[in-house]
Amino acid sequence: MQSILLLPERRRFAGQSLSAEFAKRLGRAVRLSEAQAGDRAQLERYFTLQPSGWPMAVIQRRFDAGDADKFVWLRADPVNVRADVAGVRLMAWDNLELDYEESRRFLTALRPIFEEYGIELSATVSDRWFLRMPPGTALPIFSDPMQVLGADLFEHMPQGDAGRRWRTFLSESQVILHNHPANADRLARGQQAVNSVWFWGGGAMPESITTSVGSVDTPDPELQALFALSAPSPSASNLCDLRHVRDWSMVEKRLYGEPLALLDFADGLRWNLEPSQRWRFWRRPLHRLDT
């Protein structure tokens, strides 16, 4: 069985040393041609959707609640934003630690914004919010939150006539959340405010989802949903999701005893490890990941 390790960008391991044993192994490995960088591109190497697209809202909703097939869905996740001299930046997503009651209060306040347009706002877990729209609803393209973290919010909002309604939804949501008493309670407890939403992952259920891997080991709910809804694959490869890891020694620990492995970094670099490479003794050890 081949282990495929999904890894973050190499810069996430900056300043960390490789062990002598692994430096030798990586120096003898085959460096593959660089692939497209980015979290979504990384997953698209192992999952194919027809028609093409990346409608993670409907995929996650189907996995969570099983009620997604007939509608168009969009994520409207709670986030924290911060204003500075350069604009308004997305500072936190998926780590705000909302409890059920806080989520209920926020959703109750936000629903009237969308109900006027026949859009239903709901949640499957406290920090996973969804907008349900009628079949055939056309949506502009939204950026995934991992692309936007740390960046100016409005540089990633859809522009033109197609994006006007969604820019308005965002502004109105921010006003309501900024003034919501639940945020005063959160700040008093030392927690970040939930002061905006972020729209992403829109679309209808794809006709098919296929994968080139036989199993997946991941803490990521989106990847869990993708694999669960994929057609079964005869592949013996295991996709191991280490994109959250920042300690290189944990990667080496995971690779210990794995004769066949593919290292896939989010910046597009990939190395293929095989047992026969141990005979390439003339190759120098690779002590740095950024070479």
Model pLDDT for residues 16-54, shown as the tens digit of each residue: 989 999 999 988 989 999 999 999 999 999 999 999 999
Q: Does the global pTM surpass 0.95?
A: no
Helix (H) or strand (E) segment spanning residue 82: strand 72-84
The mean pLDDT of the chain is 93
Full DSSP string of 14-32: TTPPPPHHHHHHHHTSEEP
pLDDT at 284: 83
pLDDT at position 154, please? Answer: 84
Burial of 233 from C-beta contacts in 10 A (0-12 / 13-18 / 19+): middle
**CA dist., res. 103 & res. 167, Å (int):** 22
Q: Which residues partner with 240 through β-bridges?
A: 5, 217
Q: State the pLDDT confidence band at 233, using cuts at 50, 70 and 90.
A: confident
d(CA 60, CA 147): 19
Q: Please give the sequence-ordered ranges of beta strands (E in DSSP) within 94-174, or none if there are none.
A: 120-125, 128-133
Q: What is the pLDDT of residue 217?
A: 96
265: which 2 tokens? 């970094």
Q: What was the pLDDT predicted at 85? A: 82
**Paired residues of 121 in beta bridges:** 131
Weakest-pLDDT range from 46-55, 79-88, 223-232, 279-288 = 279-288
The 3-state DSSP class for residue 200 equals strand
pLDDT of residue 253: 94
Looking at residue 291, what is its pLDDT?
A: 66
Judge whether residue 278 has pLDDT over 80: no
Q: Is residue 162 very low, low, confident or very high in pLDDT (cuts 50, 70, 90)?
A: confident
Distances in whole angstroms, Cα of residue 134 to Cα of each of 66, 115, 221, 286 = 17, 12, 25, 54
